[in-house]
Amino acid sequence: MGGTLNRRAPAILLDHGSGGRASRRLVEETILPHLRNTLLDRLDDAAVLSLDAARLAFTTDSYVVDPIFFPGGDIGMLAVHGTINDLAMSGARPVALSAGFILEEGLPLADLDRIVASMARAAANAGVPIVTGDTKVVARGAADKIFINTAGIGLVPPGVDISGHHGRPGDAVILSGPIAEHGVAILSKRAGLSFASSCKSDTAPLAALVADMLDACPAIHSLRDPTRGGLAATLNELASQSRVRIEIDEAVIPISDAAASACEMLGIDPLHLANEGVLVALVPCEHAAGVVNAMHANPLGRHARVIGKVLDGDPLVVMRTMVGGKRIVALPSGQPLPRIC
């Protein structure tokens, strides 16, 4: 009866880390109003700065994934791939990474060793050196084992201008591979679920795939990797930033049987689960076939396909379901999946 709804929680909730509605609100209401500038306001995966002739991409991500070792990877590998991918999502060729470690007192040195070795392998395989770093230690109980921040810089090739704001009606929505593998791998390891044991994290560096795509079509409009919050969050971000309606087709979204049945048993929408080696592209439709063909030639894009299209209309994501209806794909909200990356 006339009571006011306190829209802003007085303290941080786990939900604020979900990659969904609460995350967005935290950034938009508490962080952006202070830090506001034209580069940050774009909220793309990386900022692109012009330095004389060169255009530089710059990005950062902290990794707090729990468990720190999981099927298909570990927190160190994830930190290297994730930041390479954020650079790649601006079309940049990654040049260098930084690594900032926050270590909990009592972390076995053997675990740190294994994680750093994994980062080194991941960086070497992707051809992107880690050139600067920092290590902090906090007392037992003041952090959980290890948190890693990786920042990265990259060079954006001339003529490439990619942003979540550049989607246009008529664009094809391309997805590079099967969804939900990372999220299922983490959740099943956490819960000790044996039925999902064939699911491994898809963690992988996507820069070479993006380079192949740009060779086929330098005019790609938008690229984004659907990590925290999954495909649902990413498509909603793109729809919102580009002020377009996005329609996708459930029947053509690739997902493994193992991931699909794990999601069913867990009661989780696979569209909400994190991916760490998959990207979404908005591409002018006349170039879509060429881009998909180029992707098929790369192992990380062999399952790429067009999963939908961009339409004129209110910013909204709509999915044609298997049973023939349509449903709105909402941002994940409530029930957070904390520390998925």
Q: Which of 5, 6, 7, 37 is in the footprint of a copy of itself by CB under 8 A?
A: 37
Locate 288 and state its tokens. 């879509």
Nearest to 283 by CA among 163, 177, 171: 171
Q: Which of 2, 5, 6, 139 is in the footprint of a copy of itself by CB under 8 A?
A: 139
The answer to whether the CB of 295 falls within 8 A of the CB of 175 is: no
CB of residue 275 to a copy of itself, shortest distance in Å: 17
- Smaller CB distance to a copy of itself: residue 130 or 282? 130
Enumerate residues 64-123 that contact a copy of itself by CB under 8 A.
Answer: 64, 66, 95-96, 98-110, 112-113, 116-117, 119-120, 123
CB of residue 229 to a copy of itself, shortest distance in Å: 12
Say how far apart CA 243 and CA 222 lie, in whole Å.
Answer: 13
CB of residue 68 to a copy of itself, shortest distance in Å: 12
Enumerate residues 302-341 that contact a copy of itself by CB under 8 A.
Answer: 338-339
- Please, which residues have CB within 8 angstroms of residue 164's CB and are 6 or more apart in sequence? 42, 43, 44, 222, 224, 237, 238, 241, 242
The region of 148-156, 167-175, 181-189, 308-316 touching a copy of itself under the rule CB under 8 A is 148-156
Q: Which of 40, 251, 265, 322 is in the footprint of a copy of itself by CB under 8 A?
A: 40
Say how far apart CA 315 and CA 180 lie, in whole Å.
Answer: 24
Locate 206 and state its tokens. 């996507």
Q: Is 169 in the site for a copy of itself (CB under 8 A)?
A: no
The number of residues that bind a copy of itself (CB under 8 A) is: 81
Chain centroid to CA 285: how far? 24
